[in-house]
Amino acid sequence: MSQVPRKAKGIVYFIGFTAALAGLLFGLDIGVISGAEGFIQKDFKLSNAVIEFIVSALLVGAVFGALASAYLSNHFGRRNTILFSAVIFVVGSLACAVAPSEHVLIGARFFLGIAVGMASFTAPLYLAEISPEAVRGGMISMYQLMITIGIVLAFASNTWLASYANIGGVVGGHWRVMLGVIAIPAAVMFLGVLFLPESPRWLCLKGFRDRAEAVFRKMKLDEAELRAELAAIEDSLKVRQSGLSLFLENSNFRRAIALGVGLQVIQQFTGMNVFMYYAPRIFNIAGFTDTLDQMWGTVLVGVTNVLATFIAIAFVDKLGRKPIMFAGFVVMGASMFAVGTFFNIGVAGKPELAFAAIAALLLFIIGFAMSAGPIIWVLCSEIYPLAGRDLGVMASTGTNWIANAIVGMTFLTMLHKLGDGNTFLLYGALNVLFILFFLFFVPETKGVSLEKIEANLLAGRPLRKIGR
Ligand code: BGC
């Protein structure tokens, strides 16, 4: 396993941090709506159905953004696509803030979603391609960390703007500010990305070998490592095909796509976003009926999500991807069962049970943040051969958003049809089922170069073994 040269670390982490700002925006946009929707509903006098449209317009836009990014990041480069997404983030956030009607707001949320989809497609891809292999898992987990920080910042700013902020003599309820303020980090990201180099792997793919070499020099790789990186990239470029023809002709590539799609379906059907979008409502079910309690409870969920992501960052390149995944899914399965069981017993008038349910909920968040949250993004950026990586990441990222929308749009109906407790029991059962998927299909990719993973895949090795 190659090591990052000591002097390279600073610049490598600057690059990682800046690209990961895309994750911050992704998180801000995921987190912001839970606190804003109630005020939007009051202001525009909307039905629940219209609110659902406003919430999910962003998720639908993200599907389109992820799909468009496959083309954009292939033709214009990874860096330029991130830059382009930053512009849409700025314009989209401001458009949401000034929307005069629900229709404009739906359109603006869809537009903003395009940026979210673009960022969620391109940033992990860029990070995987530019990171030296010894820190690759950690760098992509840093992206996930930024998502979680974005979510908690949105929860916290919502709580403040909803209840405390005095703007122009009006205290609280400032949903326009909640949505508009995201333009500021978006502008910061735009400026930061101007300083980022293009992905060396993309440069080689487009025949700009000299420029790729210059990027590695800028990253201060030593001579031997630089040669090794370039040779490995060029080796993998011998399979010169576009993603689509690779998809049609190569069943090994199709297997990798199936794995990536499966992983993202699993990430979403853990049920994590049920808590991200509906935490206040779930606190209500647990007997915390005061709005302020619910909002602070939501902040606690967000903080737990951030802190537990450090577990993955610390261990993903040491223990490997799979042991952490197993541990995470056992924790998620058990805690979902616990939440479901407490809700089925009934927490009304039993504060000990209500607190136990919240403890189980927080344990679930820990399980997700230490495993599926970061590591599924890591794996999805590692398993595709270079010539088809754009298409592969498009398929898995697109799936992430479609599955995300399904979870977001079915939760309230599930509560209604299955009952509060059973809904969580069902998610618990799914999490247990997913452990089998890991046993049979998921490779360990710790410390293995992307080129080696690619060679193993294309040689027809079972998916579980492409990392060896
Ligand atoms: C998922 C998001 C989720 C977030 C929570 C990400 O990895 O893709 O859907 O909201 O983690 O931290």
Q: What is the 3-state secondary structure of 239-278?
A: CCCCHHHHHHHCHHHHHHHHHHHHHHHHHHHCCHHHHHHH
Is 270 touching ligand 1 by the criterion CB < 6 Å? no
User: Does 203 map to a domain?
Assistant: no
User: Does 223 map to a domain?
Assistant: no
Residue nearest to atom 11 of ligand 1 (CA): 373
User: Does 260 map to a domain?
Assistant: yes
User: Does 206 map to a domain?
Assistant: no
Residue 241's pLDDT band (boundaries 50, 70, 90)? low
Number of domains in the chain: 1
Q: Which atom of ligand 1 is nearest to the CA of 276?
A: 10
Q: Which atom of ligand 1 is nearest to the CA of 369?
A: 12
pLDDT for 386: 82
Residue of 24, 28, 30, 371 to test ligand 1 pocket, by largest number of atoms within 8 Å of CB: 30
CATH number, domain with residue 56: 1.20.1250.20
CA distance 332 to 345: 20
The pLDDT tens digits for 44-97 are 999 877 887 898 899 999 999 999 998 899 899 999 999 999 999 999 999 999
Which of 29-38, 327-336, 392-401 is predicted with the least confidence, judged by mean pLDDT? 29-38
Which of 115-124, 297-306, 403-412 is predicted with the least confidence, judged by mean pLDDT? 403-412
User: Directed axis angle between helix 291-315 and helix 9-44, to 10°?
Assistant: 160
For ligand 1, the distance from its centroid to the CA atom of residue 268, given in whole angstroms, is 8
Residue nearest to atom 10 of ligand 1 (CA): 273
| Stretch (H or E) spanning 167 | strand 166-167
Per-residue pLDDT, averaged over 143-161, amounts to 91
Highest mean pLDDT pick, 138-147, 190-199, 235-244, 389-398: 190-199
For ligand 1, the distance from its centroid to the CA atom of residue 207, given in whole angstroms, is 35
Where in the sequence is the domain holding 163, given as residue range(s)? 6-196+239-465
User: Does 379 map to a domain?
Assistant: yes
Contact status, residue 22 vs residue 189, Cβ threshold 8 Å: yes
| Stretch (H or E) spanning 166 | strand 166-167
User: Does 210 map to a domain?
Assistant: no
User: Does 385 map to a domain?
Assistant: yes
pLDDT for 1: 38
pTM of the model: 0.86
User: Does 78 map to a domain?
Assistant: yes
Whole-Å CA distances, 194 to 14, 182, 190, 240: 13, 19, 7, 30
Residue 5 has pLDDT above 60, yes or no: no
Q: Which atom of ligand 1 is nearest to the CA of 148?
A: 12
